[in-house]
Structure 1
Amino acid sequence: MLPNGWEWCKLEDIVSFGGGKTPAMDNKEYWHNGNHLWVTSKDMKCSHITNSLMKITDKALEIMTIYERGTLLVVTRSGILRHTLPISILETPATVNQDLKAISPHIKDLSEYLYIVIKANEHFILKEYHKDGTTVDSIDFDKFKCLPIPLAPITEQRRIIAETKHWFTLIEQINQDKSDLQTIINQIKNKILSLAIHGKLVPQDPNDEPASELLKRINPKAEITCDNAQYRKIPKNWCACKLVDICSFLSRGKSPKYSEEDKTYPVFAQKCNLKDGGVSLEQAKFLDPSTINKWNEVYKLQTGDILVNSTGTGTVGRTRLFNTNCLGNYPFVVPDSHVSVVRVLKSICPQYVYAYISSDSIQRYMEENLAGSTNQKELYIGVLENMHIFLPPLAEQYRIVAKIEKLFSSLNNIQKALEV
């Protein structure tokens, strides 16, 4: 039931539709020194258009349509349709590619009102108008053209637009505040790790066995540094040594032969070190069973192993702590050659070493010592072996880890609350 003065109509009754295409990318006549904006699905970011648009030439415009300011653009075919329906209103004239539809209201004043109506029906459109049998997410455009539109009187449309803009502004401010707070939380976490690895997070206990004595006992061959001027700022009972000196295993994985059929033995790859934290074998490939004998027992990942992505711009240096809980029913998992494994000696707390390697200063150290080309950065195992680590007494290592976990737990609760 609509209010008095309102009417139902179909979208196609009050607009005209248009589309676009991609001019041949190898034709310089279409692209060189272009001055007409060209919008693609990748430029559509939920409710706005990016500023970094490509431009086509007058020559390309001969085979294209340019849409005027106030035209609505809707993505109807793209992988980004899974969660949102990207839609925006053109601020300046532009052309579009084949993944977008242009909606030109017969009355220009309808643009903002139609934007609100379509945005309000986003979930309905994605669910009910989804086109099955396509390789990418698509909207059945014939159905979309018949979207029911509750058409309000023009004066009421203006009031609705004004009120909606007011609330949209508040929502955008809240989202920005949440984003700013997320940034601050990450900065606090980095500061906590920095304090931890410099002996400033928990008080020292003079009765603790000095780290140098611990290291002599577990690795008599270790090169221990206590009085070097570079390390004088660390607490008295701490010492500095190389990472390799406190490890029972420090190595990259191997290049596996994969099986397309057998799903018994997963291989841990960089994508298993999840971007948002933790590890998962959901995206793991599987080892050819005939090659199992080539993998020594030492390569089977253990709880407490520290896994470091060691190739690839954007992922190299990502560090996660492994736990066999993620194996489920798998008997074991081995790392591929793009992941380095840091397995510390039994008398060293792996969670402390994980926190150390995760800290900003050590992440910078790894980044500054990468090798390879821009597109394929490499973290050689020697960089990890020679990494200097500030080692506290064993008891303090565990006190530090307990404090980090307590503080991070409180910060994580705040982050979860921000996601609601």
Structure 2
Amino acid sequence: MTPQELKNSILQFAIQGKLVEQRPEEGTAEELFARIQQEKQRLIAEKKIKKDKPMPVITEDEKPFDIPESWNWVRLGDISTYDHRKEKISANEITKDMWSLDLEDIEKESGKIINICKASERKISGDKVRFYRGQILYSKLRPYLKKILVAPDDGICSSEMVPFNLYGNIDSRYAVYFLKSPHVDFIINSVTYGVKMPRVGTDTMIELPFPLPPLAEQKRIVAKIEELLPYIDRYEQAWSKLELFNTRFPEDMKKSLLQYAIQGKLVEQRPEEGTAEELFAQIQEEKQRLIAEKKIKKEKSLPEITEDEKPFDIPDSWKWVRFSDVIDVRDGTHDTPKYVLKGVPLVTSKNLVSGKIDFDTAKLISETDAAAINMRSEVNTGDILFAMIGTIGNPVLVKKDREFCIKNMALFKPIDNRLFNMSYLLLFLQKEQEQMKKVQVVGFNRLCL
């Protein structure tokens, strides 16, 4: 379960009356709602608020879940001033020291204030909306971000935020947690309008069914949620570390296995299998035969491998060698042939992707040009291609199923498949990416294997 799923579960339990127990001595929501109606009638009589249009009765089909018997389903518009006219303030009435709250100042999901600015610090044009300490601030723009909070002080905001009060001393924090619950999140975001900048309409909000608990229980629900939130935060930190570990584990494990493999630590050494010194002698014998038959070129003698060049210890039965001692190292053409609409794929470094050749992006050249390139660097099954330009590396062990030729990349060919396993060389190349980047300086022939 993710931290967000855990938090959602707690909020859902809270608004269903399952987070804390019900206590008969705390009265009922029906009694609370009756007091709210009395309060509203008094405010109407005092002309402090206008008389609202009667809200439709909540039908059984509208009730999304069961609530305790001491609770009551009401509409948000019945218990709040959400749809009341907002107090506007013109730009010339705004004083420099007023708190100016933008949506960007509010952290998504948590509703925390992450930036506090005075009006003097902002370029303000047009009317703003006033809000007061203790009011609920609800962002009707992109409501899925859940930028909802109880205002900690007086200030001004854009008309995209709706400040509103609750009647009957309803706990504003309980209402905020309700508005952040997964149930409300689903309902609201299924009826928003506007594609790029979705908003929720006033009618949707005031007709929203609200599960109303008795006052004392509201406060106990809030206290329990706020007791649990620090644990969720700690769980999130641990979960994030675990996710990072799980993400990196396959790659880290692969690197460790490859490192063990090329150091001779992955499997045991067996005396009956002979030594690399003996194998090296056989490869040199085969190499001299191929040179004599003019099937490969004779390379210049390379210096002995010094102790400083050896990056790690290897078993006594192994041997450090240079690439060109055991591999036929070639490269593709460096010229740019004429491209055609139908012909032979010309594979370059950019076509080596995730251990495979991407022929879909390869350009085509004529069969005549391809034949000329393949005279010196024909690619066969079992050869390895290695990028020399751009991102150095991306080795590919070729399984040839079509004709193609190569440009600007290294081609590693076995001197004798019976004496050398190219899959082992592929593992080495995958592990030693940093070392292979030295090809820009010393060339492949001198690299140690």
Q: What's the TM-score, normalizing by structure 2?
A: 0.48
* 1:418 corresponds to: none
Q: Is the 1:253–1:341 Cα contact (8 Å) retained in structure 2?
A: no
Q: Is the 1:307–1:319 Cα contact (8 Å) retained in structure 2?
A: yes
Give the whole-Å Cα distance in 2 for the aligned partners of 1:309 and 1:75.
51
* 1:401 corresponds to: none
Could you give the per-residue CA deviations for residues 68-108 of structure 1, whole angstroms, max 9, x where no partner exists? 9986679849xxxxxxx655668999xxxx9xx75756565
Cα 1:186/1:102, change in 2 over 3 Å: farther
Cα 1:194/1:156, change in 2 over 3 Å: same
* 2:440 corresponds to: 382
Q: Is there any run of 5+ residues in structure 2 with no aligned partner, and where?
A: 1-62, 84-99, 167-171, 288-295
Cα 1:246/1:171, change in 2 over 3 Å: same
Q: Which AA in structure 2 matches 1:229?
A: E
* 1:363 corresponds to: 433
Give the whole-Å Cα distance in 2 for the aligned partners of 1:125 and 1:301.
61
Of residues 218, 231, 241, the one that matches 2:322 is 241
Of residues 180, 198, 221, the one that matches 1:116 is 180
Aligned length: 324
* Superposition deviation, residue 240 in structure 1: 2.4
Alignment of 1:84-95 (within 5 A): 87=146
What secondary structure sits across from 1:7 in the alignment? strand
Could you give the per-residue CA deviations for residues 216-240 of structure 1, whole angstroms, max 9, x where no partner exists? 2347637567662233833343222
Q: Which AA in structure 1 matches 2:322?
A: C
Q: Is the 2:345–2:403 Cα contact (8 Å) retained in structure 1?
A: yes
* 1:165 corresponds to: 229
Give the whole-Å Cα distance in 1 for the aligned partners of 2:113 and 2:399.
43
* 1:197 corresponds to: 262
Q: Is the 1:250–1:385 Cα contact (8 Å) retained in structure 2?
A: no
Q: Is the 2:305–2:321 Cα contact (8 Å) retained in structure 1?
A: no
Give the whole-Å Cα distance in 2 for the aligned partners of 1:58 and 1:349.
73
Q: Indicate the percent of aligned positions where both proteins have the same amino acid.
A: 11
* 1:228 corresponds to: 306
Q: Is the 1:306–1:350 Cα contact (8 Å) retained in structure 2?
A: no
Give the whole-Å Cα distance in 1 for the aligned partners of 2:304 and 2:101.
62
* Superposition deviation, residue 121 in structure 1: 6.3
Q: Which AA in structure 1 matches 2:265?
A: K
Could you give the per-residue CA deviations for residues 85-136 of structure 1, whole angstroms, max 9, x where no partner exists? 655668999xxxx9xx75756565257515632x56667777x46889x6xx
Q: Is there any run of 5+ residues in structure 1 with no aligned partner, and where?
A: 17-35, 78-84, 370-380, 392-420
Give the whole-Å Cα distance in 2 for the aligned partners of 1:390 and 1:106.
75
Alignment of 1:125-140 (within 5 A): 128=190, 138=196, 140=198
Alignment of 1:304-315 (within 5 A): 305-308=384-387, 310-311=389-390
* Superposition deviation, residue 150 in structure 1: 4.5
Could you give the per-residue CA deviations for residues 247-269 of structure 1, whole angstroms, max 9, x where no partner exists? 4544599889999x99x979777
* Superposition deviation, residue 192 in structure 1: 2.5
What secondary structure sits across from 1:61 in the alignment? coil
Aligned pair 1:349/2:414, yes or no? no
Could you give the per-residue CA deviations for residues 267-324 of structure 1, whole angstroms, max 9, x where no partner exists? 77759735xxx6585xx8645657676555668796764554843xxxx356354665
What secondary structure sits across from 2:321 in the alignment? strand
Give the whole-Å Cα distance in 2 for the aligned partners of 1:74 and 1:273.
45
Q: Is the 1:257–1:287 Cα contact (8 Å) retained in structure 2?
A: no
What secondary structure sits across from 2:426 in the alignment? helix
Q: Which AA in structure 2 matches 1:61?
A: K
Aligned pair 1:213/2:271, yes or no? no
What secondary structure sits across from 1:240 in the alignment? coil
Q: Is the 1:317–1:366 Cα contact (8 Å) retained in structure 2?
A: yes
Q: Which AA in structure 2 matches 1:350?
A: M
Q: Is the 1:72–1:104 Cα contact (8 Å) retained in structure 2?
A: yes
Q: What's the TM-score, normalizing by structure 1?
A: 0.50
* 1:178 corresponds to: 242
Give the whole-Å Cα distance in 2 for the aligned partners of 1:256 and 1:39.
57
Could you give the per-residue CA deviations for residues 188-241 of structure 1, whole angstroms, max 9, x where no partner exists? 433332222223322334414535335423476375676622338333432221
* Superposition deviation, residue 172 in structure 1: 1.7
What secondary structure sits across from 1:146 in the alignment? helix
Q: Is the 1:242–1:388 Cα contact (8 Å) retained in structure 2?
A: yes
Alignment of 1:91-110 (within 5 A): 106=165, 109=173
Cα 1:188/1:336, change in 2 over 3 Å: same
Could you give the per-residue CA deviations for residues 5-60 of structure 1, whole angstroms, max 9, x where no partner exists? 2536479x7769xxxxxxxxxxxxxxxxxxx998769x988879999x9x999464
